[in-house]
Each structure stands twice: as structure tokens, then as C-alpha cells.
Amino acid sequence: MNKRSLSRAAVTLSTACLTAFAVTSCDKPAPGLSKAEGTGNATPSVYTNAATTTAVPSAAPAPATPEVKAAPMLETHASPVPADASAPEQTSIPAPAPAPASAPAPAVPEPTTAAAAPTTTVAAPAAAPAGPLITIKPVMPTMLFQGTPLPASNRPPNLDISQKPVMEVQVPEGVTLLSKGKPVTSDDKDPIGELSLVTDGDKQGDDGYYVELKLGKTWVQVDLEESKEVWLVWLWHFHKQGVIYRDVIVQVSDDPEFKTSTTVFNNDYDNSAGFGVGKDQSYIETNNGRPVPVPGVKGRYVRFYSNGRDLDDTNQYIEVEVYGK
């Protein structure tokens, strides 16, 4: 038998094996065929032509189950779950706004005891002193203007129109000048000029010889440094012009605050200074000043009030002289 016959016999034998499904009886594949790998199950073997890699028809395999891909995981954020899922959702009700605070009640000041108002006693008019007398006649300064014309306006109703100057006064024997060089104080803490000018003994009326105090009601006070009987006060406000000072009041006291005092002169005709209506006369200033006789009132301090003048509200003091013993 030649090679062609042997090949045909082999093909015939292999075809017979496939047709009869007797795969298990064929121990070896025919020459030129290779065995396909199985799945390990009792399924008929499939042989392929190793030279052509053409698959030999076999029983149709079961359709492959399509691979089910897992759906992509969605990233979620867990929401808080109420403790009791079955309970209805609780709605938060805002607390009511607090009521506006009521305004604090105004503080009621504690009752205080009002300070006692200063009291003053009006001295009796000075009578002629008894016993031996002496004459007080101050040295008068130079006259700076001629005549004492009466003001055409702002004339006070109690103005002394006699224009008769007084140059000397009788006092009891033993009375001397007490005020020269004594300390002077004032309610004006920033006067123009030195307060010491009031008791320096110089009565000239030019600029630089007087002290000017604040506007309106004000005072200067002389400390005699010990309690004395006061018998005479002589006062020079300002004599460069013929002016009239308002509410000229002179008081004597042993109290530096004048809580109690004795008024020895008061020409306040309408009580604008608050010490009562005075009975003394207003006067026009001259170089002779104004003497005020005093009936021996005892005290350490002598205070002089004024409340401006007919021209304006300024207050000036050149000199005061206090006589006593």
C-alpha cells in the first residue's frame, strides 16, 4: 500500500469516529490532527487540523450568560436619621424674642440737709461816739478829673446828689488804722492786678494802682488777723472817672466764710445782691473816696461787695482802710 492510500484510510477512520460519537474509543487522533483542550467535563473532544487551525464542527455550545456588571456605586452622604424614625419630623420653633428691658427708674437722690443760708445783722446807724474823740483825716490822692457831673442815665433812685465831700470823721480815742498791709482775698481767683494793692496804702487812681475783678457781683475781703472793734471804713473804688458802683455792701464778721456777719453799709435799693434792701445812698466816686462810720462792730474780717457800675459790669478797687481798736 502506498502513502496516498494510507492517508485516505486515516481520513476515513477519523470521519467514522466523529460520526459515531465514539470519541472515547479513539485513543489517539489521526496523524496531522491535534486535540483541543477540554473543559474537564464529559463532553465530546474536538479535534482541529493543526496545519490549518480550522475548527472541526462540533455540538453548538450553550449560549454564554452575559456578564452582569455591578452598577457603579453612587457616592452618597448619609443624612442624620432621627432617633425615632416612626415619629413625625419635629419642627424647631424659635424661642420668642426677649421682651425689651424696661428703662431703669430714675435714681431718687437721697435727701440732704440744705446748708444754712448766711445770716447778717444790720448794724444800727452809727451815733456820735461817747468819750474822748479823735479825728481821722486820710491823705487824699490827686484829683484826676474836674467836677462830679450827675449821670444822665442809669441813675439809681437813692443817689446822693449833694456832692459835698467828706474829708474827716470823728472816732473814739485809741482808734488806729488796722488794715494797712493786711492779707486780702477775693471770690475772683484770677483778678487783673494784685489783691495786695487794696491795702498797700497807695490811693492813686492811675492804671496800675487798682485791681480789677470779674464782672457782676463780687467781693474782696481784708483779714485784720485778730478780732477788733471796727469804727470806721474808708473806701476808694476808682476815681479816674465819676462812676457809680452798684450794690456796695460792707460786712464785718469773725467767720472767714461769713456764715454770720453784721452789715454796716448797704446801698442796694432793689435787693439784687440778695442781702435785703439797703438804706444807704449810692454815690459818685471821687478822689476823696467814701467814709463809712461803724458803731464799734467787733470782727476779724471785713468784706466789701460790689455789682458792677453804671457804665458796665466791671469792678475795681484802689484802696480800703479799716480803722478800729
β-bridge partners, 298 = 229
Q: What is the rounded distance in angstroms from the CA atom of residue 52 to the CA atom of residue 31?
A: 14
Residue 181: count of CB within 10 angstroms of its CB? 9
Nearest 5°: CA angle at 125, between 120 and 129?
Answer: 120
Mean pLDDT for 196-219 is 96
Q: What is the rounded distance in angstroms from the CA atom of residue 41 to the CA atom of residue 144?
A: 156
Q: What is the rounded distance in angstroms from the CA atom of residue 49 to the CA atom of residue 36?
A: 10
pLDDT tens, 121-152? 887 776 777 789 999 999 999 988 766 667 76
Going through 151-273 in order, the beta strands assigned E by DSSP cover 169-172, 176-177, 184-186, 211-213, 217-236, 249-253, 260-266
pLDDT tens, 256-272? 999 999 999 999 999 99
**Which SS3 state, helix, strand or coil, does residue 320 take?**
strand
Q: Which three cell numbers stand for residue 252?
A: 464785718
Mean pLDDT for 68-72 is 45
- Spell out the residues 6+ positions from residue 219 whose beta carbon is closer than 8 angstroms to its own: 186, 187, 303, 304, 305, 306
Q: Which three cell numbers stand for residue 53?
A: 487551525
pLDDT tens, 92-110? 555 556 555 555 566 655 5
Spans of all domains in the chain: 3-55, 119-324
Residue 84 predicted with pLDDT over 70: no
Residue 32 predicted with pLDDT over 70: no
The per-residue pLDDT for 3 is 43
pLDDT tens, 147-195? 666 776 778 999 998 888 899 999 999 999 999 999 999 999 999 999 9
Comparing 55 with 313, the larger pLDDT belongs to 313
Contact 290, 283 (CB under 8 A): yes
| The CATH number of domain 119-324 is 3.40.190.10 | no
Verdict on whether the full-model pTM lies above 0.75? no
β-bridge partners, 138 = none
